[in-house]
């Protein structure tokens, strides 16, 4: 069940929209923030809030890069692997992350803190190699700066 | 030094506030237009200024608005394309972080010329910080009376909102973006009808790129001739924000006159090639353009000059490769991008890019055969049959690899390894 407050805020947003379905990405992102990912329950909630079928929401949820249909960690790390980051050695950044977190790309650490995902050019080519952590950018990176970032995030998580 | 127009208020660490934008003459153009110009005057001025769309397609901005018929129905929409997912491109992000009110003013004027009552900024999720800046500054502009009903007592109403995307390259394509805005799967649609006739929710819709829109207030204030004269070439007009990345000393965004030489951009502005690096090639305007080789090193960077040379300026995102970078591997990376980002709607694109990626992977990894070259050419040819412009863009680097760097491809096949490793 959706918490009362979240349900009310989504209802309010939707009722002020001229065409409710234009808010589908916003609604999915809000629900995802609450559940940690877009669970089946969240997907069905989105559909009923927007008067869409679950299938209509599903075809959007699985289409977009930043909607997660499977559980992810508290911090989703997107590693840019497009051409400029490639030129500047994203592969060593990716290898370092995998080694440090002891997971492969696409996996989540056992403590549920980190998920590693590849992503296409994030538009920070002046700071390559770059990554996003929960949509916040870091770069240019070296293995050393990467270690510091991981320490900071672990501290922040408590 | 060349004049800075779009970046005149750019600061190293923060945005220009609304007060700072106003102090530099901001919102004067809008006030002037609303008081003294008809919507047709604005359209004509943009056409005279030769303002070409900066999102990559270079379509004349004035002509686009003119396709909104006088008797077209209301409501009409103006969409600002801030999706900017072309690899190597980050000018719109830098622009929004530099001077968000320039975009807001540009949208109000463009909205007026289309007689639109609602503006929407479509922005990619990677630019959440820019989206938040826009949310906040739109609120300030509304409180100042620049947005909303009866702007500055002119009788013109215009509201502006930010729409966050879920993140896919295809959403930058106009018709796909309209589907995305309507909460549908963002497949491209084939015109007609064109967006200016039946766009968002079936209503007339004008879509312009961020950089196109920020030029508009300056054209209003200084005139069409002034704008054309900003360019160094006869065929160009205005300034261009070039995003330079790759093997240069100072990657970044540089606002320079349209028509400036590529060599000048790299050497004078981007700090030259990194130590020990020699210029081998660059992609002049994102991943959907062809490699420019050293023979084009002094080319004048404007839409028309590149077109005449068989190339495209695209978004003006210059990605520089040096002599130690394997262009087969670079092209493999670019093709991986297109394989992953293909929306999957049409067969040539959905099937073609993974096929091309596999062939390039084999060549790069020492498993290439001579006949692959002709297979790649044939497959590129098939991709011209794809539904939208995504695929013809995506094969540009592959075709130019075979045109300009065939020796490098052959060496991979002959030696059964990548000579750069």
Q: What residues does each domain of chain A span?
A: 4-61, 75-157
Mean pLDDT over all residues of chain B?
Answer: 97
Residue A1 has pLDDT above 90, yes or no: no
CA triple B25-B2-B260, angle to 5 deg: 125
Residues B54 and B176 in one domain: yes
Q: Looking at residues A88-111, what average pLDDT do you find? A: 97
Residue B115 has a pLDDT of 98
CB-nearest partner of A83 from B88, B165, B252: B88
Q: Looking at residues B267-287, what average pLDDT do you find? A: 97
Residues B305 and B353 in one domain: no
Give residues 60 to 89 of B whose Cβ lies within 8 Å of A. Answer: 84-89
CB contact under 8 A, A128 and B245: yes
CB contact under 8 A, B245 and A50: no
Question: CA end-to-end span of chain B, whole Å?
Answer: 41
A87 has a chain B CB within 8 A of its CB: yes
Please check whether residue B188 lies inside any domain of the structure: yes
Residues B72 and B172 in one domain: yes
Residues B68 and B124 in one domain: yes
What residue in B sits closest to A51 (Cα-Cα)?
B183
Residue A158 has pLDDT above 90, yes or no: no
B124 has a chain A CB within 8 A of its CB: yes
Of B285, B312, B277, B281, the residue nearest B295 (C-alpha): B281
Fold of A4-61: Arc Repressor Mutant, subunit A (1.10.10)
Give residues 3 to 32 of A whose Cβ lies within 8 Å of B. Answer: 19, 21-26, 28-29
A155 has a chain B CB within 8 A of its CB: no
Residue B250 has pLDDT above 90, yes or no: yes
Residue B69 has a pLDDT of 97
Instruction: Give the confidence band of B405 by pLDDT, cuts at 50, 70, 90.
Output: very high
Which CATH number fits the domain that encloses residue B269? 3.10.20.600
Residues B132 and B265 in one domain: no
> Final residue of a domain: which of B294, B322, B350?
B322
Instruction: Give the confidence band of B35 by pLDDT, cuts at 50, 70, 90.
Output: very high
pLDDT per residue over A28-70, tens digit each? 999 999 999 999 999 999 999 999 999 999 999 999 999 999 9
Instruction: Give the confidence band of B319 by pLDDT, cuts at 50, 70, 90.
Output: very high
A35 to A30, A52, A73: CA distances (angstroms): 9, 20, 11
* Token pair of A151 as six digits: 């320490």
B165 has a chain A CB within 8 A of its CB: yes
CA triple A138-B325-B380, angle to 5 deg: 100
When scoring A121, A135, A137 by the number of chain B Cβ atoms within 10 A, the one with the most, hence best to mutate, is A121
Residue A67 has a pLDDT of 98
Which CATH number fits the domain that encloses residue B339? 1.20.1440.230
pLDDT per residue over B350-380, tens digit each? 999 999 999 999 999 999 999 999 999 999 9
Please check whether residue B5 lies inside any domain of the structure: no
Fold of A75-157: Glutaredoxin (3.40.30)
CB contact under 8 A, A29 and B166: yes
A105 has a chain B CB within 8 A of its CB: no
> Final residue of a domain: which of B322, B345, B369?
B322
Q: State how far the Cα of B190 lies from the Cα of A90, in Å rounded to an integer.
A: 37
Of A105, A37, A99, the residue nearest A73 (C-alpha): A37
Residues B222 and B240 in one domain: no
Q: Looking at residues B255-265, what average pLDDT do you find? A: 98
Neighbour order of strands in the sheet with B279-283:
B252-257, B239-246, B317-322, B279-283
Burial state string for A9-21 with b = 16 or more CB within 10 A and e = fewer than 16: ebeeebeeeeebb
| Number of domains chain B contains | 3
Please check whether residue B308 lies inside any domain of the structure: yes
Please check whether residue B13 lies inside any domain of the structure: no
Instruction: Give the confidence band of B1 by pLDDT, cuts at 50, 70, 90.
Output: confident
Interface A:B, Cβ pairs < 8 A: 125
Instruction: Give the confidence band of B325 by pLDDT, cuts at 50, 70, 90.
Output: very high
B165 contact residues in A (CB cutoff 8 A): 25, 64
Please check whether residue B41 lies inside any domain of the structure: yes
CB contact under 8 A, B127 and A83: no
* Full residue range of the structural domain in which residue B313 is found: 231-322
């Amino acid at each position: 069940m959706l918490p009362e407050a979240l349900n009310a805020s989504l209802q309010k947003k939707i009722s002020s929209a001229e065409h409710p379905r234009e808010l589908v990405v916003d609604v999915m992102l809000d629900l995802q923030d609450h559940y940690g990912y877009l669970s089946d329950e969240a997907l069905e909630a989105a559909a009923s809030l927007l008067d869409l079928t679950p299938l209509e929401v599903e075809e959007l949820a699985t289409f977009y890069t930043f909607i997660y249909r499977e559980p992810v960690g508290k911090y989703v790390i997107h590693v840019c692997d497009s051409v400029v980051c490639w030129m500047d050695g994203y592969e060593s950044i990716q290898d370092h992350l995998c080694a440090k977190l002891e997971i492969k790309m696409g996996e989540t650490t056992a403590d549920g803190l980190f998920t590693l995902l590849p992503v296409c050019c994030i538009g920070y080519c002046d700071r390559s190699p770059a990554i996003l952590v929960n949509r916040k950018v870091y770069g240019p990176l070296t293995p050393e700066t990467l270690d510091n970032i991981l320490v900071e995030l672990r501290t922040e998580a408590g | 030094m060349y004049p800075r127009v779009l970046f005149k208020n750019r600061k190293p660490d923060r945005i220009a506030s609304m007060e700072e934008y106003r102090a530099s003459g901001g919102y004067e153009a809008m006030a002037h237009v609303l008081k003294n110009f008809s919507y047709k005057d604005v359209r004509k001025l943009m056409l005279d200024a030769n303002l070409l769309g900066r999102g990559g397609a270079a379509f004349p901005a004035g002509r686009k608005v003119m396709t909104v018929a006088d008797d077209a129905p209301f409501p009409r929409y103006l969409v600002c394309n801030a999706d900017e997912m072309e690899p190597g491109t980050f000018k719109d992000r830098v622009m929004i972080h530099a001077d968000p009110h320039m975009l807001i003013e540009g949208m109000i004027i463009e909205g007026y010329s289309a007689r639109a009552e609602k503006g929407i900024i479509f922005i990619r999720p990677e630019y959440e910080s820019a989206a938040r800046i826009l949310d906040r500054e739109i609120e300030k502009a509304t409180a100042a009376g620049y947005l909303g009903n009866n702007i500055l007592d002119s009788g013109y109403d215009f509201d502006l909102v930010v729409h966050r995307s879920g993140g896919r390259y295809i959403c930058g394509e106009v018709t796909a973006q309209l589907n995305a805005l309507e909460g549908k799967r963002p497949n491209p649609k084939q015109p007609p009808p064109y967006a200016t006739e039946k766009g968002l929710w079936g209503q007339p819709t004008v879509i312009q790129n961020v950089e196109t829109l920020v030029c508009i207030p300056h054209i209003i204030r200084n005139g069409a001739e002034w704008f054309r004269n900003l360019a160094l070439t006869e065929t160009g007009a205005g300034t261009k924000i070039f995003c330079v990345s790759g093997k240069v000393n100072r990657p970044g965004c540089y606002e320079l006159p349209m028509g400036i030489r590529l060599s000048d951009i790299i050497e004078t502005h981007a700090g030259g090639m990194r130590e020990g690096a020699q210029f081998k090639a660059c992609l002049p305007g994102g991943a959907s353009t062809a490699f420019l080789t050293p023979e084009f090193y002094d080319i004048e960077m404007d839409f028309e000059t590149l077109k005449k040379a068989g190339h495209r300026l695209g978004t003006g995102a210059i990605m520089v490769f040096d002599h130690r970078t394997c262009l087969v591997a670079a092209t493999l990376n670019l093709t991986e991008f297109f394989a992953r980002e293909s929306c999957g709607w049409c067969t040539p694109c959905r099937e073609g890019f993974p096929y091309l990626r596999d062939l390039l992977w084999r060549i790069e990894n020492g498993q290439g055969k001579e006949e692959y070259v002709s297979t790649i050419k044939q497959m590129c040819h098939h991709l011209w049959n794809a539904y939208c412009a995504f695929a013809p863009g995506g094969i540009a680097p592959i075709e130019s690899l075979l045109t300009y760097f065939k020796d490098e491809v052959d060496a991979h096949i002959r030696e059964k390894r990548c000579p750069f490793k």
